[in-house]
Structure 1
Amino acid sequence: MNKWNTIIFDMDGTLFDTEQISLNAWYDVKEHFNLPITRDFCIQLIGRTRQSAQPIFKKYMPENWNEQEVYAYRKEKMNEFKLKNGPLPKTDLHQLFNNIRLKGYRIALCSSSHRDAIDFNLKYEHLENSFDVIVDGSMTNHGKPAPDIYLKTAELLNIDPSQCLVIEDSKNGILSAHRAGMDVMMVIDLVQPDEEVKSIAYKIYNHLDDILKDI
């Protein structure tokens, strides 16, 4: 029998195809503001809060770029897409969560996104009551890959981190969960796992539903 009693899901790129939406929005930013945005820049931001992304901005962006204006424009483009098309769930999430509940697990959500983005996605897909705990990027001082956000989730669940299994798509998220003392499964989204990820991930899957094989 597995030692876990709670499954913690990342949101963007794990439950929803929102990392691709974000990538497209960053390309809109590139064209609108004439900024040196590359795919590598976007990939390094995956899983990070805006605060924890500052070293990436310093590396890629010109000194005089207007971060606030850029983020407002990016958010506008993402919202335009999601209002028209929804957040693009990776699978039938209602069925997935039902299957996990039937196995006796609690379910939590741990995302670097702002709470309004989380609430939009969950409300759009009628998943508002699917989680025992929801932790967003504003609830800790240090974002992924620091362990804080996952430790906060365990604290709110009132369980030891070792009792949690995390489902993530990004290296930053996988490192965060691992550093928090949690087992973590990777479901591949935009980026293939590197050797470091392969060495710490409990399992690596191509499809979200595949996690049911090992829980």
Structure 2
Amino acid sequence: MAKFDQYTGVLFDLHGVIADSSQYHLQAWHQLADELGITWTQSLAERVLGMSRQDSLTTILQAGHQLNRYTAAEQVKLGDRKNQMYLELISQMSPADVLPGIIDFLDELKAQHYGIVLASASVNAPLEIKKMQLTDYFPLIVDPATLTRNKPDPEIYVRAASLLNLSPTNCLGIEDSKTGLTAVNGAGALSVGVGATAEIATADVKFADTAELTLAGIQKQIEQQH
């Protein structure tokens, strides 16, 4: 049975949890789809959220029946092209992009000596953290290039916990997507979902938005369940 005081580490997804930079990702993928003559849809947008660059590209090319049109090397180039567009978009990022309540929550975690790790599938995560002036909170960031599998596989959260020398069972994992929550739950961490009800249905603890995130709020929900 989970007890609140067993948790000493907090593992953060980036997009949709700390910043709404997913809008920039979707904008860049949308631009690439337009260039390739592939119709961009809401359904496509929902599917690529939280996926790695390669998985997102595969999904978009499949949607446009173009997967066989490009060699592996050409697909890497397309991924790089999307990343260039994305970097141009996020070059404008600033502390104003941090979602409501997140700074207060990070301050609370630091004050209570919780371990904090960023577990994002994005290779640009360190740059985004820097642009938002959050580097002091995130000295520990999982490098997605060192992983063999992407979310929904739990590997990224297992790795994040190991950076704190903790078992995932002593960590909270904060996510806003089904894909991410599957990864947190698979790792054995306590999942904290933030966002739309349908998207976070599998979370152990649920909040409608980031402004509600507090240790007291998490503790209350854990204790209510037992």
Which of the five TM-score ranges fits, normalised by the shorter chain? 0.7 to 0.9
State the match for 1:80 in structure 2: 88
What's the offset of the Cα at 1:106?
Answer: 1.5
The more displaced of 167-176 and 134-143 is: 134-143
State the number of aligned residues: 208
Structure having the higher Rg: 2
Question: C-alpha offsets along residues 130-163 of structure 1, whole Å, 9 cap, x if unaligned?
Answer: 1252103212100000111111112221111110
Cα deviation, 1:55-93, whole Å, max 9, x if unaligned, reads: 635642412144233322322222222223448221364
Q: Find the counterpart in structure 1 of residue 173 from structure 2.
A: 166
Letter in 2 for 1:201: A
Query: What does residue 156 of structure 2 align with?
Result: 149
CA displacement at 1:52 relative to structure 2: 4.7
One of 97, 100, 110 as aligned partner of 1:91:
100
What letter is aligned with 1:32?
E
Determine the structure 1 residue equivalent to 2:113.
104
TM-score (norm 1): 0.85
Q: Which residue of 2 aligns with 1:211?
A: 213
In structure 1, distance between residues paired with 2:19 and 2:44: 21
Deviation at 1:193, TM superposition (A): 2.2
Q: Distance in 1 between matches of 2:156 and 2:146?
A: 7
Q: Which runs of 5+ in 1 are unaligned?
A: none
Q: Distance in 1 between matches of 2:48 and 2:172?
A: 23
- Between 1:131-140 and 1:152-161, the stretch displaced more is 131-140
- CA contact 1:110–1:134 (8 Å) conserved in 2: yes
Q: SS where residue 172 of structure 1 aligns?
A: helix
The Cα shift of 1:54 comes to: 6.9
Contact 2:11 2:174 in 1 (8 A): yes
Distance in 1, Cα, partners of 2:23 & 2:61: 23
Q: Report the residue type matching 1:211 in the other structure.
A: L
SS of residue paired to 1:167: strand
Which amino acid in 2 is paired with 1:60?
Answer: A
Offset from partner CA, 1:28-47 (integer Å, 9 cap, x none): 11222212432222322222
Q: What SS does structure 2 have at the residue aligned with 1:134? A: coil
* Structure 2 unaligned spans of 5+: 220-226
Alpha-carbon separation, structure 1, partners of 2:162 and 2:51 = 21
Where 2:116 maps in the other structure, the secondary structure is strand
Change (3 A) 1:49 1:78: same
Q: How many angstroms apart in 1 are the aligned matches of 2:11 and 2:84? A: 29
* Stretches (4+) displaced over 4 A: 51-55
